[in-house]
Amino acid sequence: MLIFFDETFRKSRHEHKRSFGALTGIAIPEKEMHRVSTDIFQLKLKHFGHEFASEKEIKGKDLLKNRVFQYVEDDKRPNLPFAKDVLQYIAYKKLYVFGCVCFEPGTQMFKCDDVRALDNTFWYIFERVDMFMKIEHPQQLAKLIFDDRDYGTNSPNAAAITNFFIRSPRGLALNSILKTPFFAISQAQNVGLQLADFVTTIIGLRFESCLHIQPYFDLLKPSIYSYIDNGRRISGLKLLRGGIQE
């Protein structure tokens, strides 16, 4: 199972304009990767034409920029119909979403300054991915693929994640995840990372309190994985709101 991650950093329009980070991922079965890439190409072709489908990547910040919503009645661009089609496709294919939205100042950038200690933001995501694998795909391992940021971020994050999985009791218990993370770039027609960027943008806009995004977040919600643990439903999207965990 391939799980592609992307991140966004924003400020809420409410809550005293507090800054936050969101790191979210989308799960795509490895054997389905070619099929998903082909289907997304066809959706791009349907809405944007051959040049865009062949050459351009899906970028949430471009598809869902403010003026697309502000002038929706007069705007003939296909951005929003395309977004709806992609969200419906994600739900139809059961490509589940995981993530963490963090308002806590010390960890909202998803950067591990100490390679000996993994931030809880990552732990909450990995816990949910591991449970998903144990429930839905018990014979498989999840491969974590992160969007490339920069060497100064990738290197300590990779070291902290690997150390967590091979040295800590909590990490050793998450035995449905491959111990070493991967890093890739979306520009290389990496559809998995492009879909991760897309869903991360929607989640980011939702917690930024963008009013126009709610119908699209509602379309995404069925794809946010959840499970029952000791009679309590656990969402695949963890919210850390400055001391308040949801």
Q: pLDDT band for position 72 (50/70/90)?
A: low
Structural domain spans, the chain:
2-240
Q: Quick one: pLDDT at residue 73?
A: 57
Q: pLDDT band for position 211 (50/70/90)?
A: confident
Q: Quick one: pLDDT at residue 67?
A: 81
Distances in whole angstroms, Cα of residue 201 to Cα of each of 21, 196, 224, 231? 11, 9, 14, 31
DSSP string for 160-178: HHHHHHHHSHHHHH-TTB-
> DSSP class of residue 57?
P
Number of C-beta neighbours around residue 71 at 10 A: 11
Please give the CATH architecture assigned to the domain spanning 2-240.
2-Layer Sandwich (3.30)
Q: Quick one: pLDDT at residue 70?
A: 73
Q: pLDDT band for position 69 (50/70/90)?
A: confident
Q: pLDDT band for position 29 (50/70/90)?
A: very high
Q: Model's pTM, two decimal places?
A: 0.92
Q: Per residue in 105-122, pLDDT tens? A: 888 899 998 898 898 999
